[in-house]
Structure 1
Amino acid sequence: MAHHTNKKRHLRRARHANAADGCDDHRSIPASSKTTRVVSRGSRKFLSQPAKRKAIMKPVPIRSTRNGAIRSPKTELEAAIQRFVDLYDFAPIAYVSFGRSGRIGEANLTATELLGEPRDRLIGRPFAFYVADLDQFMRHLLYCRTSERRVKTELQLKTRKGERVPVQLLSTPITSSTRNGALLFQTAIVDLRERKRNEQQLAEQARLLDLTNDAIMVRDASNRITYWNKGATKTYGYTREEALGQVVHELLKTGHRESRRKIY
C-alpha cells in the first residue's frame, strides 16, 4: 500500500516539473504544414523525422481561346497543320512537288484546276506528261538535280483538254519530312497568260505606231528612251537599237540640231 502511494507521489512531481518548464505532455505542429514535428516527453524535447512528400504530377498545360474553349498543345499543333494545308491548297498560285524522276508527289487545288485533272490522277504521274515541249522540262529537271538554288524556266503546259498554257516554273529543292528526308522540288507554276496578252497588245500598238511617219519616242522617269519608232529613225537618223536606253539630251546633242530643237 505504501509502495502504491509513493508511486503516485512521483507521478505528481513529474507533472509539476513539466508544468514549471512550460511544456505539455504532447505538442506538435499541425500535420498539414508538412514540416518537422516537435514532441516533448517529460522535460526532454525530440525532433521527429520530416514527413516524406508525395510525388506531385504536374498537369499538362492547357490554354483558353478567346471564346473560353480549352485547347491543349496537341490540338494547337493539329490546328497549325490544318492552317498550313489550307494555305497550300487554296493558294492562288499552282504548286506541285516532284522528285528526281519528275513524278508528281503533291499538288494543290489550283494546280488541279490549271491542269484539268483531279488530284488522285496527278499524284504519281510524271509531270512531263503535262508539258508541251519535253526537252524543255528535262533540261529544267536536270538543272534542279545539279543546282542547290531555285531553278526558273518558261515553257508551255498541255492541259487535259489540249490547251497550251504559257507558264513559268520556279522549283526549289526541299527535304521532305513525310518521305524519310527524300529530296523534292517544290515548284510554283506561274500562269503567264495575262502577261503574254499584255505583251501582245503592246506589240500591236508598237506596230501601229511604226506605220506613221511622225517621230514618236517614249521616255521613262530618268529621261531614258524606252520606245523609238521608225518615224524617229527617219527624222533623227538613229536606229531603234542605238536609241533605246539612251538619255535624250545626250543622244541628240550632236548632229541633227535642227531636229533637236523641234522636240521641245
Structure 2
Amino acid sequence: MKARIRAFDWASTPLGVVDSWPDCLHIAVGLMLDSHAQIVMFVGPQFVALYNDAYASCIGNKHPHALGQPARDYWTELWADLAPLLQQVLTTGETVSARDRPFRIERHGYPETVYFDISYSPVRDRDGVIHAVLCIVSETTARIRAEQDLREGEQRLRMLFEQANTGIAVGAPDGRLIMVNDCFCEITGYTQDELRGRRFEELLHPLDRAASQLQRESLTHDCANFNMEERLLRKDGTPVWVAGSIGGVFDATGRLTQICTIIADITERRRAEAQERRLAAIIASSDDAILSTDLDMRITSWNSGAERLYGYSAPEALGRSVTMLVPFDRTDEEPSIIAQIRAGRRVEPHETVRLHKSGRQIEVSLTVSPIFDEHGRIVGASKIARDITMRKTAERLQQILIAEMKHRVKNILATVHAIARQTFLNSRSPDAEVFDARLYSLSRAQDLITRDHRDGAELSALITEVVSPYYPERFDISGPKMLLSARAALTFALGLHELATNAVKYGALAMPGGRVAVSWTLENGRFDLIWTETGAPSADAPSRKGFGTILIEEVMTAEIAGEVVLEFHPGGLVCRVTAPLDATWIQAD
C-alpha cells in the first residue's frame, strides 16, 4: 500500500498533492502504513479513503478502487450507517468505539452482515483542527459467527438432551451425576434433584457395579467409549435392564473432564428374548414335529421332532417345498392350507397322511397356525404334526374287537332268549313278555355303550334310547351332559325300562293326556335325577315289591352309592335319584 499511495494521483482528489497535506496527516498515514492492525483513514469533508494492507484484505473487491475515493462512492450500501459515525468524530472530536458492531456490506459481490471492533478517532493538527478520522478496526465476523453456531449447536444439543427418548446423564470423572434428562429420570424413577451428586454405579444392581466402575476408570483419550448392558434398580427397587454407552470428554491435555452416559430401557426386549429362548428350547426338545413355511410353501424351520417323524435332517429340509411330505393323492391339501392362512381364515386341526423320507406313509394329527411379522402381516404358517399311526392302528383294532364283542354279546343274549322261551311253557305269557322286554332293553343299552367306542354312555342318549319304544313324543328330557360307566349305564337302562313299562301299564302313559318329565342337575357336588309323571290315574303304593321295584330301589341304589326314592302321588309316580358326584360311576362331561 505504501507504493500505491506514493504512486497515486492525489492532485486529482480533494486532498491535492501530497506535499500540501498537513504534517498531522503525514504522521497518521505513516503510522497507519507501518501498523499490522486494520486501519482506514477518512480525510476531509468528503471522507477520502486511505488504508493499509491489513485493512485491504477485509474490504474484498472494493480494493484497490476505493483508495483515494470519497467513502460515499465505495461504501454506498452502508453509508447511511457509516456517515453519522464519521460526522460525529469530525464535528465533535470525540472518539467513537464499539465492540462487535455489525455492518451490512458488499465486498464479495453480495450483501452480508459483518462485525468489527471499532475505534474512530480524530486526527488534529497543532491548532486542534480535525483533518481526518482514523478508524482502527478488527473484524470479528468469524468469532461472532462461531459463537452463533456454538449457541445454536448448544440449543440443539439442549433440545436433543431434553427431548431424547433415551436417558442421558452427564457426570464428573468420579461418576457423580451433574445433569440428567427427563427420560433418565423416568427409567430410574428418581427426580433430577435426587440424582444430582449420586454416582452412576449407585443406581446399578450390586452384581453390575464393579464392571461399570471398571469401565469408567478405563476411559482414556484413545478408548473413550464403552457399550454396556446392565441392570438398574429403580427407586422402588424394581430391576430394569438398560443398554447404552459410557463416553468420556477430554480437554486439550487429554485429561478426562466429563462422562456422558446414554441408556435405553430394554427390559421388554430382554423379556422377549428370554421368551424366545424358552420357546426355541421347547420347540427344539418337543417330540412333536414342528416346522414353518413361508407363503410359497418353502420350509423355513425344522425341529428335531420333524427329523424323527419325517426322516429328513434340517439341512435336507430347509428351503424345500413342504409338498415333498404330501402323498400323491393329497397334493391339493398344502395349497388349500396356505390359501386359508393367506386369507386369514382359521385352519381347523385335522388328521391326515404324510410321507416319510423312505416313502412310508405316516398318519398324523396336524395343527396349522399363521405366522405374523412385526407389522401384523401374515408371512407364513407354523405346523405341528403328531404321529398317530399307533393310535389309529389301535382304534382300528378296537373297532374290530368291539364288533366281535357285540356279535358275541348278541349271540349270548340270543341264547338266553332261546333258553327263556324253552323255560316259559307259554311264550305268550305275561312273564315271558316282561322278560323279553327286559332283555331287549339290556341289548339296546349294550349297543349304545359300544356305539361311540367308549367305556360308558351319555345319560340323555341312554334315556332317549330306553324310552324310544314307549311314546317318546310324550317324554320331556333335560339335563347337562354327563357320562355313566358301562356298568352303571346297564343298571340305569334296566331301571328306566321298569319305570317306563310301569308308566305304560299303570301310570301316565296309560292315559291319553299323560306325560313323563325326566330331568337332572349337577350342583354342589351332587347328582339329582327326578322322574315325574303327570296326568296319571290315582295310584297307591303296591302291597308287595316286584322285581322291577327291587331293581330300581335296591340294585340301582347299590350301584350309584346313593339313594332312590319312589313316591306315589294322585297325579302319578315320582322317582328321585341322588348320588355324590365323586362316585366312580359318573363323570361330568
TM-score bin, normalised by smaller chain: 0.5 to 0.7
Q: Residues 176 and 184 of structure 1 are in contact (CA less than 8 Å); yes or no, is this contact kept in structure 2?
A: no
AA partner of residue 17 (structure 2): T
Match for 1:191 among 257, 265, 274? 265
Contact 2:289 2:307 in 1 (8 A): no
- After TM superposition, list the pairs within 5 Å mapping 1:213-224 onto structure 2: 213-216=288-291
**Which residue of structure 2 lines up, in the alignment, with residue 151 of structure 1?**
226
Report the equivalent of 1:229: 303
The Cα shift of 1:159 comes to 0.7
More strand by share: 2
For 2:289, what is the secondary structure of its paired residue? coil
Question: Partner of 1:98 in structure 2?
Answer: 171
1:136 counterpart = 2:208: yes
Give the whole-Å Cα distance in 1 for the aligned partners of 2:279 and 2:270: 14
Distance 2:192 2:282 in 1: 45
Amino acid at match of 2:357: S
Q: Retained in 2: the 8 A contact 1:218–1:228?
A: no
Sequence identity, in percent?
Answer: 21
Corresponding residue of 1:36: 17
- Give SS of 1:161's match: coil
Q: CA offset at residue 139 of structure 1?
A: 1.4
Counterpart residue number, 2:88? none
From the superposition, tell whether residues 199 and 95 of structure 1 become closer, same or farther in structure 2 (CA, over 3 Å): same
1:8-27 matched pairs, under 5 angstroms: none
- Higher radius of gyration, 1 or 2: 2
Equivalents in 1 of 2:316, 2:170: separation in Å?
46
How far 1:30 moved relative to its partner? 5.8
Cα distance in 2 for partners of 1:112, 1:161 equals: 13
Structure 2 alignment gaps of length 5 or more = 1-10, 33-38, 41-96, 105-114, 116-143, 320-355, 361-589
Correspondences of 1:44-59 after superposition (within 5 Å): 47-49=19-21, 51=25, 56=40
Retained in 1: the 8 A contact 2:244–2:261?
yes
Confirm or deny: 8 A CA contact 1:112 1:118 kept in the other structure.
yes
Distance 2:167 2:244 in 1: 10
Q: Distance in 2 between matches of 1:193 and 1:167?
A: 7
Question: Superposition RMSD on alpha carbons, in Å?
Answer: 4.3
TM-score, scaled relative to structure 2: 0.28
Q: Which structure ranks higher in relative contact order (CA pairs < 8 Å, sequence separation ≥ 6)?
A: 1
TM-score with structure 1 length normalisation?
0.57
2:188 equivalent to 1:115: yes
Kept after mapping to 1: 8 A contact 2:291/2:300 = no
Is the contact made by 2:201 and 2:213 (CA closer than 8 Å) also made in structure 1?
Answer: no
Q: Deviations over 1:71-92 (max 9, x none)?
A: 9645554343222111112111
Is the counterpart of residue 259 in structure 1 residue 357 in structure 2? yes
* Paired amino acid for 2:226: V
Alignment partners' CA distance in 2, 1:181 and 1:159: 32
> In the TM superposition, what is the alpha-carbon distance from 1:137 to its structure 2 partner?
2.5
Q: For residue 83 of structure 1, give the secondary structure of its aligned residue in structure 2.
A: helix
* Partner of residue 241, structure 2: 166
Q: CA deviation at 1:99?
A: 4.0
Counterpart residue number, 2:151: 78
User: 1:15-43: per-residue Cα shift (whole Å, max 9, x none)?
Assistant: xxxxxxxxxxxxx7663xx4536xxxxxx
Deviations 1:133-187 (A, max 9, x none): x24222122133235152222221111122211112411222269xx95443322
Structure 1's unaligned 5+ residue stretches are 1-27, 38-46, 64-70, 251-257
User: 2-side partners of 1:260 and 1:48: how far apart?
Assistant: 120
